[in-house]
Structure 1
């Protein structure tokens, strides 16, 4: 048996009118939507037990009938009732795709058309769920682009340069902080690379007009000569997909990111926290980040303590921290209590190793060695 729930906020208040009334009569209104699903393995197949959307205080449920592979449509916590279409008193088939009512729900019931709104909202939300993995593509000497518009940078960042060129071609502008002037897409990427202390300048240029071949040029310092991306530190190419995705994704997207700190030195790892605060606030992104970086976490804790930062106001209510632990062969997620001072109140044992224990052991060893040498 597997059950799951997902809740999301709608872009604006949704009002649903009674489809049975000629004059607009509001039935439901709300800003949040929740889907709940339960599936079970039956005869080596996955079978949906129930699926429900909750909107406002009402639930709209399709559930499996006992001893039958047929389903019924019902409501909970509301006086609203689905009305059967005359001559269509049949049971419903199983829900499709794990999130969608069967097509028959629209034809067997006179007033079920609004259910499509819930399904469309779910699809839109999933389409705006983007992923970047921990193993990202090595930098290339040159890149090809035929004018395509990728949906994201790819799970390995393999479409990063395409995304940069597509955004530039569309003339997209971005704001790295509130109340600052808008910048071009490449200019935005270059701004953050300088802010993080990685390089001085960044630009993607076509090798010759109409060739469709492009090269990424960077300058390490203001006094440095321009060089190809392949000729500078590996970390620049690894953070480039991170930066690009955060500014290429549509506003309001949810982004899953694994180990964005790979191949970055500690100061840049800490700077990622500032980047995340900025895009979360300015671009309204939800970031789900899996990381092993103590520097990223401690910078985020510091920003929470400071509250009002150059990258945006951030509080402990904006951040959730979980510690993945393996106990008795099972993975567990422990919610770490992060207070308003940026302090984790239930810090797990050896979260990043026993740092203070290492210092004490080192000092003890020094004292012992000096005594022996005296």
Structure 2
């Protein structure tokens, strides 16, 4: 007997099934070839890269009223005047993290910012502080080498396979749900948060999970969070397949068991068939002939004049036949235990099992529960995990005290003032210290004039020190003292960071040098320490010379290209962007200096943020071409202050008059 189907190990080392391939018909060969035409059967683009947040959409959040979408590149730069709304994107990510991590839709302090960040709660976050509005935030993620979490029910004993007479049916269903899930390349979640007058609290009233650019499941809740319903999108790309007649006829009529409105909501041009749709439109003489009333699927990767059908219907047919009770209107029977629209992360949906019994029926309903839970809850889990790896570095970084020691308990909030950067240098790998030192000192990098060194030492009392000095003198005649030697060996080792002047070799402490060094060093650590997925930095150029600001551009390129880190940078530095533009031009012309990774316009996203006359946050993307030049004009010119200051006095007067409207 073949081995009973097991789940794949969803880690990096995937365990393949030990099942022989059997092709006994033309139809079976067609299925096999179609599998290799799908994303699941081919090497997925970007599969060697870590997962990456690719976009965020905001509506009714802070200064954002109407919905806006912000694409996130490996390096995203936010320019604009003070209080224009540049921090809005970062605060939205912190808000989503609080909701997913602590189910807190009304936060003030955050996991990222600690005492450094105060969101002020829902009243302060909702646009114009209007409690009748609902905040909407959507995040999109490229999975790349990651995958959706495998939410597994209680263990299934392999011996139970022998209790069924339909082993082939189990294999078919198992392979169907696995192949469907493996088609997922991108995921998204959208949270809708409103104020509940009943609870006097903010409540997640809407949750949407998406896959491959389309919504897959939408959960809605009443204001008090008690009445929760879900809809599924049978036309999501992961469910669509080419028409195979025997599969279409295998489907029964689901009407009466599930409400069709709970599993579809797509434009007509993208609508896929269920079996019943196909059968109603097929010619009685030839069931393979579809009448003109049928619709054609117009996806980019499908053969011309092909028709798509949704395998969601096949799955639902199987679980119905396995004895699963009707989920009722709004699929409410599957949402037991919900107190809002937000699923409980890491938990299976409460989908009832088979009422018929039997190993095959139990397995199919369990497998469907795990599959649907992974597709509905999984996107929030992988995005939460990415937000856990977000590193926030605020605009004012702390200068360590003399004799600074790392805290015993890690706290991500200490990144906000830069303290965690110094702790990483004390407790992290020696290679990190070497990299940071090179970037700080090398003439082709930041060239700050300071190297960095980590030293280990032990504190001993004066009596032991005097004994060690005498013992080191061969003429002193001091005998060995085992107790003192044991005490010295048991004395704990401590670590200290020193800055070393490159010219003189003098060791100094951070408080002995200019403020710029202590401000830029945490930026360097954040870019080189590879455990983060997204690093958000406010004003990395603060207190540092323009020549150092230029070098930050190369630092961001290294962090994104070699460590897979995405950067979200709020900045006023023209020197930083000029270096990035230069590297784009040098890449296209093949003139990059040795050791610098190539960079394209797609790697850099420049956004100009301003407030409209109606006090709405407006974000202008500034495109870049292959020559490293901006395409189009900046809303207010590219750093016009520099040109203004260089104008003769009489021309400045005319410019001022024009600004006042005198001319």
Question: Scaled by the length of structure 1, what TM-score is found?
Answer: 0.81
CA displacement 1:202-247 (0-9 Å, x = unmatched):
1122453656654321222233422222212221111111111222
Distance change >3 Å, CA 254–CA 359, structure 1 → 2: same
Secondary structure of the structure 2 residue equivalent to 1:156: coil
Change (3 A) 1:215 1:122: same
Q: How far 1:154 sits from its partner (Å)?
A: 1.8
* 357, 361, 368: which one aligns with 2:648: 361
Match of 1:272 in 2: 552
Aligned to 2:280: none
Task: State whether residues 96 and 102 of structure 1, in contact with CA within 8 Å, keep that contact through their aligned partners in structure 2.
Answer: no
CA distance in 2, matches of 1:123, 1:100: 12
* Residues in 1 aligned to 2:348 and 2:496: alpha-carbon distance in whole angstroms: 54
The 1:100/1:353 distance shift into structure 2, 3 A limit, reads farther
1:197 to 447, 467, 470: 447
For residues 65-119 of structure 1, the C-alpha deviation after alignment (integer angstroms, 9 at most, x for no partner) is 7899422233211431565743875543546684646957233474232334334
1:113 aligns with 2:373: no
Q: Does 1:349 align with 2:636?
A: yes
Query: CA 1:129–1:16 in structure 2 vs 1: closer, same or farther (change >3 Å)?
Result: closer
Moved over 6 A (4+): 65-68
Q: CA deviation at 1:327?
A: 1.9
Q: Does 1:218 align with 2:499?
A: yes
Compute the displacement of 1:323 (Å): 0.9
Greater strand fraction, Structure 1 or Structure 2: 1
Question: Per-residue deviation at 1:6?
Answer: 1.0
Q: How far apart, CA to CA, are the structure 2 residues paired with 1:346 and 1:364?
A: 22
Q: Distance in 1 between matches of 2:458 and 2:339?
A: 54
Change (3 A) 1:38 1:145: closer
Contact residue 215 and residue 228 of structure 1 kept, 8 A: no
Q: How many residues align?
A: 349
Q: Deviations over 1:177-226 (max 9, x none)?
A: xxxxxxx1110010100131112421122453656654321222233422
Query: What's the CA shift string for 1:39-86, capped at 9, x where partnerless?
Result: 333324333343222223664323327899422233211431565743
Could you tell me how far apart the structure 2 residues matched to 1:351 and 1:51 are?
A: 40
Cα distance change on mapping 1:212 and 1:362 into 2, 3 Å: farther
Q: Whose Rg is larger?
A: 2
Alignment partners' CA distance in 2, 1:37 and 1:157: 31
Q: 1:145 to 1:14 in 2, by over 3 A?
A: closer
* Structure 1 stretch displaced more, 284-293 or 212-221: 212-221
The answer to whether the aligner puts 1:291 opposite 2:571 as a matched pair is: yes
CA deviation after TM superposition for structure 1 residue 139, in Å: 3.1
**1:180 paired residue number:** none
> Unaligned stretches of 5+ in structure 1?
172-183, 366-374
TM-superposed deviation, 1:4: 1.9
Confirm or deny that 1:282 pairs with 2:562: yes
Of the structure 1 ranges 122-131 and 109-118, higher mean CA displacement relative to structure 2 is found in 109-118
CA distance in 2 between partners of 1:226 and 1:139 (Å): 15
Structure with the bigger RCO (C-alpha within 8 Å, sep 6+) is 2
Instruction: Tell me the residue number matched to 1:332.
Output: 618
Mapped to 2, the partners of 1:104 and 1:311 lie a distance apart of 47
Q: Which protein has the bigger helix share? A: 2
Q: 3-state SS of the aligned residue for 2:555?
A: helix
Cα distance in 1 for residues equivalent to 2:222 and 2:404: 58
The corresponding residue for 2:395 is 134
CA distance in 2, matches of 1:188, 1:153: 22
- The aligned residue for residue 315 of structure 1 is 600
Q: Tell me, what secondary structure is at the counterpart of 2:143?
A: strand
1:238 match: 519
Q: Distance in 2 between matches of 1:101 and 1:71?
A: 16
Is 1:162 matched up with 2:447? no
**Worse overlay, 289-298 or 216-225:** 216-225
SS in 2 for 1:27: helix
SS in 2 for 1:106: coil
Where does residue 27 of structure 1 map in the other structure?
180
Partner of 2:135: 2
Q: What secondary structure is seen at the aligned counterpart in 2 of 1:105?
A: coil
1:257 aligns with 2:257: no
The gaps in structure 2 that reach 5 residues or longer are 1-133, 153-168, 240-309, 354-364, 460-490, 653-663
